Amino acid sequence: MGQRGFAVWKVGVSAALGNCPYRYKAGFEDDTSMTVVMRMTYTGCFRAGILLLIAYVVDCSAGARSMTHFPAVKQALNTFNVPDLSNANVVMFIYSQRNEPLYKLQCHSAGFEGDQQFDYTGDFECRLSSVRNRDKYSTLFTEDAYQSRDWESRGRFFASQLIGPCGRILQFGTSREFRLRRMKVQLDITEPQFGDDNKLKSLQLTVGVSPDDTARRAIAEAVPLPKQVVPEQCKLNEYFVSPSDSNKTVL
């Protein structure tokens, strides 16, 4: 039983047993199990059982809603060409199965000034936000329950991460998957083009969205940094924060 149901349970017991002329003993063990030993004979104390039942039903209903309050999303697959990375402007909406806009995905180059709620850095960065609700986090792609900076997510890309062995690192290279809010969002960067100075000039971004009822976090599930040795030029420890206990936090 959750905290809300437990509180109602205690109020119900106190109110109902207040009408009983016989002594009672009530022990509250913890949030999931309780014992009550009562000596009651008057039929008026039957109210206690009724109130306890109501508390249980209310709490179970609230618990069910807490696990499923994110609407199911509509499957989608879109490809965006970004011919000039200095002026990247990708915008895509994710819809519910009732065709209601739920989330906004936008990807821009560093220094983009069209979004006052987010500071875009890196060579190319994608942000996910709710359309109608004000989020606690600047991007839902973050994995850190205590996010303090906009760039703390795998939604930010650097040129060095899209080429050679760095580009092939699962979840930290050209292909990255985010599981949250009963959905999976896949970002795949293909055909990156570089200048003579290895500066990223253009790319193609494919965004895939699919329902996933097993994804229950309000923000992206934590993906640990690779345990194997990776090339130094990938700079994973520099560019990524590894919230090792993020999945332990209920959001």
Name the H helices within the chain. Answer: 3-17, 46-68, 164-167, 236-239
For residues 91 and 196, which has the higher predicted lDDT (pLDDT)? 91
Question: What SS3 state is found at 143?
Answer: coil
pTM: 0.70
Q: Which pairing describes strands 89-95 and 101-108: parallel, antiparallel, or unpaired? A: antiparallel
Q: Which two tokens stand for residue 78?
A: 């879109």
Name the residue with tokens 């509250």. Answer: 28
Residue 246 binned pLDDT confidence (cut-offs 50, 70, 90): very low
Query: Angle 238-243-244 (CA atoms, 0-180°, nearest 5)?
Result: 115
Average of pLDDT values for 171-179?
A: 97
The confidence score (pLDDT) of residue 227 equals 86
Contact between 220 and 247 (Cβ < 8 Å): no
Neighbours of 73 (CB within 10 A): 21
pLDDT tens per residue, range 78-95:
999 999 999 999 999 999
Strand partners, 240: none
